């Protein structure tokens, strides 16, 4: 096997396009100079389009989790009551961050592999009028579920003044987001997934309603104080030293989005999802989510007649192809395939072909080529 050859098909970090790698290799510049301000001016309107908002999108140097923490510490106070809709491990992460700030958390647990039910959340919020905020993942990375966050916001706002705060880390840039139209109050995403960058940047936007709450909050922290980022981004700068190499890359990513067209980016992710799911069905691999709930960025399988971890080890050793395993209570029970960002239908056909060989090697009785053929058929139908 080639020593430097690897295929990364996990739900993040994801492969980086060569054009973005080249952009990140630009010589360093002063972070308070005109060049940086001009770059931020270029970035700002393009980020707004990805978020579907008229609000400025703030850029914070830090992982996606730091963005989730910023959303929490700016919006709610210690002792406030909030509702976390937990459809998996990363929904539960909201709970853990809230507890670290002595926030009164109620967790609305949803069966792993299923999307949230907006009407059930509406009823719960209506029965608990002291809830100040509702938190949910958009794509639950740990299960491959895409939650109907627009419907969630509509349901919550129909009965409550609670803010709706969304973790979009593992899908934004790969699925359509209409923050303003859907009534989302705070939306967070990260750089290392469908944005095709290394980890280290997160992006946050807040609604006018959310800003009123944030401005009235006396305990917003220091580094994660969103009013500092808002005031600085309005002047085409950042309150603290930004990760400039990642901003170089982000500028290129957004240019790539523009060239492809966001509607085509989203259609490509949908096609890759459909190809992958059709292939797994043809190979008799039990999908962990329904077609309706399955995310365009990650697909999960819960095998019944072979060991998920043995399969992951086999495909890694044979092809240096990395797919993700399960987390928390799903550890060892599922495997997850990322198909987002710098990924095309040809990549889907490649990993499916390798997977078929690995499946036979771990004892799964399949017909070679069945999965690839099913994916090819989906591609042909989608390309009409």
Q: What is the pLDDT of residues 195-204, one digit of tens each?
A: 999 999 999 9
Which contiguous run of DSSP H or E holds residue 226? helix 226-233
Residues of the chain with pLDDT > 70: what percent? 99
163, pLDDT greater than 90: yes
* pTM for this entry: 0.96
Give CA–CA dist 131/140, Å, rounded.
23
Annotated binding site: 336
Mean pLDDT (the chain) is 96
Position 382 scores a pLDDT of 83
Residue whose tokens read 């989790």: 65
Give CA–CA dist 156/159, Å, rounded.
6
Q: What is the pLDDT of residues 61-108, one digit of tens each?
A: 999 999 999 999 999 999 999 999 999 998 889 999 999 999 999 999
Q: Identify the architecture of domain 18-258 in CATH.
A: 3-Layer(aba) Sandwich (3.40)
If pLDDT is split at 50, 70 and 90, which confidence band does 383 have?
low
Position 270 scores a pLDDT of 98
CATH code, 7-14+262-382: 3.90.1150.10
Q: What is the pLDDT of residues 206-254, one digit of tens each?
A: 999 999 999 999 989 999 999 999 999 999 999 999 999 999 999 999 9
Backbone angles phi, psi at 63, to 5 degrees: -75, 175
Give bridge partners of residue 108 from the DSSP assignment: 85
Neighbours of 214 (CB within 10 A): 21
Q: What is the pLDDT of residues 251-278, one digit of tens each?
A: 999 999 999 999 999 999 999 999 999 9
Give bridge partners of residue 201 from the DSSP assignment: 61
Q: What is the pLDDT of residues 31-41, one digit of tens each?
A: 999 999 999 99
Note whether 60 and 67 are within 8 A (CB). Answer: yes
Position 283 scores a pLDDT of 98
Give CA–CA dist 209/11, Å, rounded.
32
Position 91 scores a pLDDT of 85
384, pLDDT greater than 60: no
User: CB under 8 Å to 369, separation ≥6 — which residues?
Assistant: 356
Q: What is the pLDDT of residues 355-365, one digit of tens each?
A: 999 999 999 99
Residue whose tokens read 């939306």: 187
The three-class DSSP label of residue 247 is: helix
11, pLDDT greater than 60: yes
C-alpha to C-alpha distances, 159 to 82, 134, 149, nearest whole angstrom:
15, 12, 16
Stretch(es) of the chain classified as CATH 3.40.640.10 = 18-258
If pLDDT is split at 50, 70 and 90, which confidence band does 2 have?
confident
Position 4 scores a pLDDT of 85
The three-class DSSP label of residue 68 is: helix
Stretch(es) of the chain classified as CATH 3.90.1150.10 = 7-14+262-382
Backbone angles phi, psi at 59, to 5 degrees: -115, 120
Strand positions, DSSP E, the chain: 7-8, 58-61, 81-86, 104-109, 131-137, 139-140, 145-146, 163-167, 186-190, 201-206, 298-301, 321-322, 324-325, 335-338
Q: Of 14, 285, 326, 293, which is closest to residue 149 (Cα–Cα)?
A: 293
Note whether 163 and 132 are within 8 A (CB). Answer: yes
Note whether 184 and 134 are within 8 A (CB). Answer: no
Annotated binding site for substrate: 336
């Amino acid at each position: 096997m080639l020593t430097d050859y690897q295929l990364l098909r996990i739900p993040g970090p994801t492969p980086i396009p060569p054009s973005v790698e080249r952009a990140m290799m630009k010589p360093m510049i002063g972070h308070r100079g005109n060049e940086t301000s001009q770059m931020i001016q270029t970035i700002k309107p393009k980020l707004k389009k990805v978020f579907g908002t008229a609000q400025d999108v703030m850029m914070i140097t830090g992982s996606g989790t730091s963005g989730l923490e910023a959303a929490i510490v700016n919006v709610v106070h210690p002792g406030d009551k909030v509702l976390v809709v937990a459809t998996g491990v990363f929904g539960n992460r909201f709970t853990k961050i809230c507890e670290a700030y002595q926030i009164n958390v109620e967790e609305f647990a949803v069966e792993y592999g299923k999307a949230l039910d907006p009407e059930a959340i509406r009823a719960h919020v209506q029965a608990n009028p002291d809830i100040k905020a509702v938190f949910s993942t958009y794509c639950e990375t740990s299960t491959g579920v895409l939650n109907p966050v627009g419907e969630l916001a509509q349901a919550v706002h129909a009965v409550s003044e609670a803010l709706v705060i969304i973790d979009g880390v593992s899908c934004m840039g790969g699925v359509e987001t209409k923050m303003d139209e859907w009534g989302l109050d705070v939306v967070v995403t990260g750089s290392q997934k469908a944005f095709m960058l290394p980890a280290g940047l997160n992006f946050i936007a807040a609604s006018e309603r959310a800003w009123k709450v944030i401005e009235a909050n006396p305990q917003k922290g220091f580094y994660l104080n969103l009013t500092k980022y808002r005031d600085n981004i309005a002047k085409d700068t950042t309150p603290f030293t930004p990760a400039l190499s990642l901003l170089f890359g982000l500028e290129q990513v957004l240019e790539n989005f523009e060239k492809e067209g966001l509607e085509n980016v989203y259609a490509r992710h949908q096609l890759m999802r459909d190809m992958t799911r059709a292939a797994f069905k043809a190979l008799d691999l039990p999908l962990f989510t329904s077609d309706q709930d399955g995310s365009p960025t990650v697909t999960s399988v819960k095998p019944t007649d072979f060991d998920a971890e043995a399969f992951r080890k086999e495909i890694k050793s044979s092809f240096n192809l990395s797919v993700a395993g399960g987390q928390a209570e799903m550890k060892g029970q599922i495997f997850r395939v990322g198909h987002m960002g710098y990924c095309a239908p040809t990549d889907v056909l490649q990993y499916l072909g390798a997977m078929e060989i690995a499946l036979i090697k771990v004892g799964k009785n399949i017909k070679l080529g069945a999965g690839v053929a099913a994916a090819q058929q989906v591609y042909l139908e989608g390309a009409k």
